Amino acid sequence: MRTPTLKMAVAAGALLASAGVARAWVPDLADADEKASFGQLVDIYKQQAKFVACAVKATVKCEGKYGTDVATQDCVMATATGPAGSGFAEALTKCEDGVDYAKKSATGNGAADYEGMQCPGDMDSATPGNQDYPDLSDWQGSHASTYEQLDALGVLANVLGNAAGKDIKTLGKDVGELSKYGQGIFKCIGSCESDAKGSKGGGALTDSTTQCSAKSAVTPDPVQDACRDGAKAKMESKLGAGGGPYAALIPLIENALSDAANTTWNNTEGCDGSPSGAFVDGSSLF
């Protein structure tokens, strides 16, 4: 299954993915080239998760220490702006410096690497169909758009926190718990999607956009389902049943993370718009 970029999703990991039909890439792991490309994709997915966690942590720290109003987002990722002395822009730069999609290059060539992974991502989600990126570096460069997605969820968290009478310090801790939940969900999805042995969901062996999903309305592989439930139980132990005052955010996080991962592991079309596998229904946050 496959495709990416930090079109991921909150608190944790967040890219809100584009809508549409998705086709999962099932690599032939007996083929050395496909195995190498799949390994590179797995590494990129891990980098995406780490990047989002880093960005969310920087924002929570900025809001908790320098924020002045729980109903207002003082530290904005999309513009890398924060209160004077917060060092927010520098913190985000450090997060970006840790991203290198070519770290485990399968071919040594950016264009060949990108095609080897079946051209993941969509360069223009506003246009019907899938628009390939020119190469790996362009795909990596697009991850900055994740900031806008994370900011959107951050605003919701602030509004809900304010409605629940949270002070800025408590709100920061709560958003941190939401982030941990998101990261847990993202990790579950990654374990399932990269599993070629069938012990963690078997995503690498199956053409499906629901098998490794974390959406509450979807019934995924039993192993993935158990992983998702475990992550939710940890979150509820801190915030209350269903997420307590943030219950309205939980399905948004689950949907956004699942769609984000779907963008990484599943592509709407093959390279240059040429289908190379069976198509399955996909869905989006909106």
pTM value is 0.76
Q: What is the pLDDT of residues 49-89, one digit of tens each?
A: 888 878 888 887 888 788 777 677 889 998 999 999 999 99
Residue 174: the pLDDT is 84
Give the pLDDT mean for 141-165: 73
**Distance between CA atoms of 201 and 112, rounded to whole angstroms?**
29
Domains of the chain by residue range = 8-273
Contacts (Cβ under 8 Å, ≥6 apart) of 189: 212, 213, 214, 224, 257, 258, 261
**How crowded is residue 121: how many other Cβ atoms within 10 Å of its Cβ?**
26
C-alpha to C-alpha distances, 72 to 16, 53, 58, 122, 152, nearest whole angstrom: 22, 21, 17, 32, 12
Give percent of the chain with pLDDT exceeding 90: 26
- N-terminal to C-terminal alpha carbon distance within the chain: 22
- Give yes or no for a contact between 269 and 129, defined as CB atoms under 8 angstroms apart: yes
- Give yes or no for a contact between 136 and 99, defined as CB atoms under 8 angstroms apart: no
Residue 86: the pLDDT is 94
**Distance between CA atoms of 269 and 119, rounded to whole angstroms?**
9
What phi-psi label fits residue 22: left (phi over 0), alpha (psi between -120 and 50 degrees) or beta?
Answer: beta
Residue 179: the pLDDT is 82
Q: What is the pLDDT of residues 169-192, one digit of tens each?
A: 787 788 788 888 988 998 899 899
Residue 24: the pLDDT is 59
Residue 227: the pLDDT is 94
- Give yes or no for a contact between 64 and 172, defined as CB atoms under 8 angstroms apart: yes
Answer with the residue of higher pLDDT: 254 or 123. Answer: 254
Contacts (Cβ under 8 Å, ≥6 apart) of 90: none
- The position carrying tokens 């309305």 is 217
**How crowded is residue 137: how many other Cβ atoms within 10 Å of its Cβ?**
15
What's the chain's length in residues?
Answer: 286
Give percent of the chain with pLDDT exceeding 70: 80
- Give yes or no for a contact between 204 and 195, defined as CB atoms under 8 angstroms apart: yes
C-alpha to C-alpha distances, 278 to 23, 41, 82, 222, 264, nearest whole angstrom: 6, 20, 46, 23, 17
Contacts (Cβ under 8 Å, ≥6 apart) of 253: 9, 10, 11, 12, 14, 153, 178, 181, 182, 185
**Distance between CA atoms of 245 and 132, rounded to whole angstroms?**
40
Residue 266: the pLDDT is 66
Q: What is the pLDDT of residues 218-268, one digit of tens each?
A: 889 999 999 999 999 999 999 999 999 888 888 888 887 787 777 777 654
Answer with the residue of higher pLDDT: 103 or 194. Answer: 103
Answer with the residue of higher pLDDT: 210 or 23. Answer: 210
